[in-house]
Structure 1
Amino acid sequence: MEPKGEPQGRNGGEPEREGPDFLAGGGALGQLIAAHDWPSTPLGPLSSWPGHLRTTVGLLLRSPVPIVTLWGEDGIMIYNDAYSVFAGGRHPRLLGSKVREGWPEVADFNDNVMKVGLAGGTLAYRDQELTLHRHGRPEQVWMNLDYSPIPGVDGRPAGVIAIVVETTGKVRAEGELRVTAEALATLNAELGQRVEERTRERDRMWRLSTDIMLVAGFDARIEAVNPAWTALLGWGETELLGQDFMAFIHPDDSAATLAEVGSLSSGRTTLRFENRYRRKDGTYRWLSWTAVPDKRFIHAVGRDIQAEKEAAETLRRTEEALRQSQKMEAVGQLTGGIAHDFNNLLTGITGSLELLRTRLAQGRLADLDRYIATAHGAAGRAAALTHRLLAFARRQTLDPRPTNVNRLISGMEELIRRTVGPAVAVEVVGTAGLWPVLVDPNQLESALLNLCINARDAMPDGGRITVETANRWMDEHMARERDLPPGQYLSLCVTDTGTGMTPEVIERAFDPFFTTKPLGQGTGLGLSMIYGFVRQSGGQIRIYSEIGQGTTVCLYLPRHHGAEDAAESAAALAAAPRAERGETVLIVDDEPTVRMLVTEVLQELGYTALEAGDGTAGLRALRSDARIDLLVTDVGLPGGMNGRQLADAARVTRPGLRVLFITGYAENAVLGNGHLEPGMHVLTKPFAMEALAGRIRDLIEGGA
């Protein structure tokens, strides 16, 4: 099922029609022209087009330059792929339209073009300034325009052909360069006149400027500096003259600085280049340089941007804090449903244990397995809820893994239903044989949950959310529409029956901090974070929406050519491998219950078990002469030494000691975000005792 609002291809998904020969090889516009409703235009059906019009259109379609034909008195627009890029949001509705109606904001300009062209005249404009509305807002643009008449059968002009080359970037860059070059040329002239360098005006600029001024050779030898060097960096003039300025550059900026000097030596001007210079006290300060070369020297002005850099870093940290706040906002959405579930699960656990104790006291042993299974199942579901909540709340980013998205959605389905509430129906439509993708599954879970929360908020009176997956083959046309390379993709779409979004809201939906929610009810970071995650994963996100008809948000992720992660299975404890040759395990955990359970399991399997309640006691045991084949330690320990620090200290006297960290999952940052040394592994709490026994056997034997 295609998500509502998503483009279905021309003619409602029907096969594309073959066009006439003159459209062959004409790219996307050739196909659009072949499919266009020409009988409803003054040009009539394609089969009736005159030969000179066919020839003209065939030529322009094969040109890489933006070209448009304005045919007849109305200037019916026919153009090529390059012109469609120039047209922006006006494409494809410009095709077959009258030029005056297609570009109403420049109607008078085009009226004159048609008047001159149909009279047999030509027009040429260079860097012509116009104001266009290509993307729903006015833009000041500059273009090179060439207009020529197209002769008809009788020799009289039948239309006008226009070659359009946008020069906006060049005009603006030249304007900025002119201003900068003029200022630098003035400075260059003043510094170049060494016999007059002590004149009053130059002396005033040189001495009073708060910006650093530098004259240096292309060999980096410093020829002249102004007093701002001393004020800003602490170096005196005598300490700098004749020195190599590369000696003052931060090592991390050396390569880029040398490359910029090379650019200057070839005659190019530096408009903005940033690097760090060493102060006399050994610290570094950020400078932004503008420089021009002459035949012998580089003349440069450096502006202090340390405060800007620090402010940018503060903004980055603030944004990170807000992003974390947004995550916690999502966590807050979960707590009600999770608390309800947890109370049910705890009831199942405690009730089963009470009945188990009662039946044991009564000597009634027949139903014990049923109570044990009930408590064990409820505990497992409680652990899964805890893991998922911690996954959403974490700060660190985990590595991408091959992921089965249908399985991921299935694991979240109940959580989503609890989060959106009983007024919203949730339907999951998973395609069979879905391709795996290479993503961070926890980030994908967070993205899916955020999309479902947004969908719920768009349906204040209730409604339906549909979560749908599909395999997609994207040809060049479909991929170009989504700004992706052609190929195989998985789509994950969330559709709601809510209020919908206007085009203006859709256009800004992925902007950081943009939100339509009331003040205090959203950070505006949800969709921007999803956008960043999807783009970093090599995919794309698109919104399809109509006011009053609901919204579909689709994530497109590249297919991973490989198997997804296999689901883990555990054998029964009775079948777990047993210890050999007096093998000894040290357990360090501040929770006595955990130590007791792990110790009993190990002793049951024939291991010698040593216990310690904190890092200090554990390190004392590790520094003794006792045989220890494996260290099993919690990550969060009291007494100022965590489990990772304990393991690192233990390996000083016991190199190669194998270590198993047992962790509450949220402590992953302490472990280096997954970057562990060889022989160190992690097992997440809570864990099955048989899984612990199997992992211990693997580690002692040197397995992965």
Structure 2
Amino acid sequence: MSAVNHSGCERLIDTTDWAGTPLGPRESWPPALQTALHMVLHCQLPMNIVWGPAFVQLYNDAYVSVLGHKHPAALGRPAAGTWAEIWDTVLPLLERVRQGESVGWRDFKLRIDRHGYPEDCYFDFSYSPVPDDKGGVGGVLITFVETTERVAMEQRLKTKARELHRLRDESRAREEQLQAVLDSVSTAVITVNEDFHIVLFNRAAETVFRAKASEMKDRSVDELLPERLRGNHQALMAGFARGMSSARAHGVDRELTARRLDGEEFPIEAAISRVRVAGRLLMTIALRDTTEAHDLRRERVARASAEAASEAKSQFLSHLSHELRTPLNAVIGFAQLLQLDAAAANPAMVQKYAGLILTSGQHQLSMVEDLLDLSRIEEHQLAVSIEPVTVWPTLQGCIQMLAARAAAREVTFDTSHAHGCEALVSADAGRLRQILLNLLSNAVKYNRIGGRIEVRCAKVDAEWTRIDISDTGYGIAPHLLGRLFTPFERLGQEKSAIEGTGMGLVLARQLARLMGGDVTVSSQVDTGSTFTLWLPAAAGLAAGVQVRDLPPPGKEPTMTPRSTDQPAGSSGDRSPTEPAAPMAPGDEAPPGSPATGETVCPECGGTGRIGTQNCANCAGTGQVTVGIGGA
């Protein structure tokens, strides 16, 4: 037979001399006790049998933890001695069971001494009668589970709950106090948590955003911004929450656009700060509606703009009257000289004065026409006829028209880098010639004696073509470039011998923008300037057009071949700081037909003639005079 595995209490029971105990020898124990004891010894739960009038204890190993230091002395001894400290409580219960009643309790509190000191312990237990062989109650079966730890935990939880309730009440009171304080200030205050959900919304914020605090609670603060700004705002807030922002400790003022709950957008000024409260990140936004301030600012700007416009108008009229008076005085003066008797006797003098009168009249007419063009552009009344135009023939004609003037100043043209002019551009042919004539005329006038003009033409990409006209003149100081495209502004050249009204570059840029392009400039003092005409590219190349250096017969300009090195003063390819392509500031060509009505002049071959009037380029003399004023 295999060995029987006896428990510790079972071995004690087997080895104890029971003859001297109230139970007597073990052989004399009633079968009911033997059966109950066998069940107790093999149960995993704490169980104890108290038998007979003396309530002698027989228990299992699980019960030892309840006895503590009282084991093993308690085994086979009356319960009254073992549990003297609680016997007044236990005895009545045992007596009830001996009368045949079963009793039980949950979390029954007993103050026991099992480790040398009294302690409050809790038990779920059941007292059940154990019958004897005579049909009566021989003992009591005690089955229980100690619940001391669970009860202690529940008591701690209840204490914590009471504390939390107290803290919640205090917190609610503080929040109400804080809300009352915040509601008394005129600045809108919004506090959000680390998820950017609103946790505080004061009364001023209700007024500003036209929303109740109760309906904004727990909603995302992004709902108070226009949808187009929310993505960037979320990134900024996330960076600020992580401490990545360079803002001051109390936030950084920023002017933003906010959105009321009804969808209306309005300007605000806001400051944001962050703080950790009990380990929780909170961000507070203080803001104010700046609509009134913006309105006042707009009024100030409008008033200043009106005053500036009035001042500009006064200066414009002053310049205009001066520029108109100068050629008119010449006409009157030379006409008066022709009335003298001496002039009548000298045909050469008459012809000279008549030529000067004609030149002054043409100068005045050109200036008036430029003013009319500018006025029509500003009023969107100047029509242009946009079509594919080849740059090279127009450029060649303009150079030929300026041949005599360039030769007089020993200025040479270099078109060795103009091969891009074979391309087509989208432009008005007449206005393109007007712009090129102005830029080339200025390059001649403001160049050095014996200087050089280089023309470069390149198709930048599928959308843009650029034409660079570079001179080797004296250049323009950086602080003067901002005034270059101002009407009547000649940057100090008014008293020089160089002709000009300060209208040409203004008109050239406006015409370029009217055609969807632009005119830009780069310059270096003592080196020269480069004016760049940008035009929208048209698809393809002009059939039969070949760029070549022009020959120098007669008074035509001398073409000087250049190396591929960039000439002094030239802008070359687009610089890193130059835009990919210029954009016109919203000017659109108004509908209608071309307003120029220009025809070919039989004297100079140009197309500056309008109807039956004299040509604007040569005044009918066949000699080109540039009527478009330079800068």
| TM-score w.r.t. length of structure 2 | 0.33
Bigger share in helix: 1
| TM-score w.r.t. length of structure 1 | 0.30
Which protein has the larger Cα radius of gyration, Structure 1 or Structure 2? 2
